[in-house]
């Protein structure tokens, strides 16, 4: 429909419809940006280890003897988690298996998978893995 001369054409979408459309477009853009930037986390794949933090180790880190400073060199282990590992070990005794580190609050099976290849648990009796 053509407007009369001197008259503004009617908008294709009214204000509420425009607001809804804008909201949907912004939400879609945010989701797309998030999936492009963090898609590896959504896929369930474990990201590769951070080589810069672990390449200095020629041997695996022993969860039963390593100080917090050494534990912090593991991927995704910062000062808080390193301290929690040491406190757990001191409070409840040595870990029997590498998987036992998951009893530390903040370490899940998923997070263990990120540093499992860099750690070992030695037996308190023999000193061997």
pLDDT digits (tens, 9 = 90+) for 19-46: 898 898 888 888 877 766 654 444 555 5
| Domain boundaries 51-120, CATH class | mainly alpha
State the CB neighbour count (10 A cutoff) for residue 122.
Answer: 16
DSSP label at residue 21: H
User: What torsion do the CA atoms of 32, 37, 39, 42 make, to the nearest 10 degrees?
Assistant: -90
> pLDDT of 91-114, one tens digit each?
999 999 999 999 999 999 999 999
Note the pLDDT of residue 71.
Answer: 95
Q: What are the backbone angles phi and psi of residue 120, rounded to the nearest 5°?
A: -145, 160
The pTM of this model reads 0.55
Q: Which residues pair with residue 30 across a beta bridge? A: none
Distance CA 63, CA 56 (A): 17
H or E stretch including 61?
strand 61-62
Give the range with max mean pLDDT: 7-11, 38-42, 118-122: 118-122
Torsion sign over Cα 99, 102, 86, 106:
positive
pLDDT-derived band at 123 (thresholds 50, 70, 90) equals confident
């Amino acid at each position: 429909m053509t407007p009369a001369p001197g008259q503004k054409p009617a908008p294709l979408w009214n204000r509420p419809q425009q607001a809804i459309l804008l909201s949907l477009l912004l939400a879609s853009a945010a989701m797309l940006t998030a999936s492009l930037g963090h898609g590896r986390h959504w896929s369930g794949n474990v990201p590769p280890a951070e080589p810069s933090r672990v390449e200095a180790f020629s041997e695996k880190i022993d969860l039963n003897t390593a100080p917090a400073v050494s534990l912090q060199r593991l991927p995704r282990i910062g000062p808080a988690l390193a301290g929690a590992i040491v406190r757990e070990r001191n409070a409840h005794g040595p870990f029997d298996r590498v998987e036992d580190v998951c009893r530390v609050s903040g370490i899940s099976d998923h997070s263990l998978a990120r540093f499992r290849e860099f750690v070992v648990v030695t037996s308190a009796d023999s000193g061997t893995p």
